Amino acid sequence: MARLIPYAVAVAAVAASIVLRLLLARAGVQAPFLLTATAVLVAAWYGGIGPGLLATAVAALSTAGSFVPLSRDEGLSLVVFVAEGVLITWLSASLRASEARQAAIVGSALDAIITLDHRGRIVEFNPAAERISGYERARAVGAEMAALLVPAPVRDAHRRAFARAVATGDGTLIGRRLEMTAQRADGREFPVELTITRIRSHGRPMFTGHLRDVTDRKAAEETARREQTLRSVATLSAATAHEINNPLAVVIGNLELMEKSETLDALSRERLQRAASASYRIQEIVAHMSRITRLERLTPLPNVPDMLDIRRSAEREGLV
């Protein structure tokens, strides 16, 4: 049933044009095909090719059937009208299909697509722009983009750059991919990529802005940067552990040999034991550093004394 509505609209439009032509004819005004051409245009625009052709045929038949008396030249005019009706129908249907495709593309785009007039005010605001920004289309259309999406600290600079682009056709904003910070409806700021291009048209310039939320990409880049830092730390830890282990093994070995000496007094033996204990702690720390190179989960680090406490202890024992 819904499919028949455009055809009914086509017939009604032609009927209305015929009635109006008859009224004009009674008043002495001849408008042979102008009004019916308008009816054809309405039918084609509303319903497409089928209703447009139906309106053309009905209008032509009504004229040939003498709803309005034909003059000598109206036979040729009728042929011309039919040709014009077919052309109007084809052009209207093509334009409507093109607009429908464009609307589908804009509506399904993942990036925010925002059309601006020469004042920087929003003319179109696609669903992705609503989702990214948090503004509803009804709220955004007619508002200045800078006031809605640009953070306050850089808003004036953005306005100056846009005004320069409108005046000169060039500037830092037009035709370039910019990384900047945008602002959502709730005031939260987030990183975006913004590209503004000029729409070629007569009259005052218009612009289309493509805005992409790069929060996830920035987070991935930060994660990659941290992983790279961790790998660098692991490499440094491996090299440091290797450089410490070799001389530390010599120190521990000599301390163990000295501790076995029978000529040591009690104070010297206690100091050797303290030195050996500290060496073992260093060895344990180095072992933890080695685990970092394998990205293992670290157990709690040993309770290593603060360097100041170590120095004070050494001073009390007369080691320094």
pLDDT at 140: 92
What pLDDT was estimated at residue 23?
73
SS3 109: coil
The mean per-residue pLDDT over the stretch 270-293 comes to: 79
Instruction: Answer for the pair 85, 37: CB distance below 8 angstroms, yes or no.
Output: yes
Write down the pLDDT at residue 122.
92
74 falls in which pLDDT band (50, 70, 90)? low
Residue 16: closest CA among 74, 65, 54, 55:
55
- How high is the mean pLDDT of the chain? 76
Percent pLDDT > 90 in the chain is 10
pLDDT tens-digit series, residues 179-199: 889 999 999 999 999 888 888
pLDDT of res. 99:
67
Tens digits of residue pLDDT in 93-136: 777 777 667 776 676 677 888 999 888 899 989 999 999 999 99
Confidence of residue 273 (pLDDT cuts 50, 70, 90): confident
Tens of pLDDT, residues 19-36: 777 777 677 666 555 667
The pLDDT, as a whole number, for residue 200 is: 74
Which whole number is the average pLDDT over 155-169?
84
- Sequence-ordered list of residues with C-beta below 8 angstroms from that of 79, at least 6 positions apart, any chain: none
* Per-residue pLDDT, 320: 42
pLDDT of the residue at 184: 92
- For residue 205, the model assigns a pLDDT of 82
Domains of the chain: 2-107 (no CATH), 110-213 (3.30.450.20), 219-316 (no CATH)
Greater pLDDT, 202 or 183: 183
Task: Compute the distance between CA of residue 204 and CA of residue 116 in angstroms, rounded to an integer.
Answer: 11
Q: Is the pLDDT of residue 319 over 50?
A: no
Bridge partners of 183, per DSSP, are 189
Helix (H, G, I), strand (E, B), or coil: what is residue 134? coil
Residues contacting 200, CB < 8 A, separation 6+? none
In the structure, what pLDDT confidence band is assigned to residue 299 with cuts at 50, 70 and 90? very low
Q: What phi and psi, each to the nearest 5 degrees, are found at residue 195?
A: -130, 125
Give yes or no for residue 305 having a pLDDT over 80.
no
Report angle CA 12, 18, 19 to the nearest 5 degrees: 90
Report pLDDT digits (tens) over 210-251: 888 998 888 888 888 888 887 787 777 777 777 787 788 888
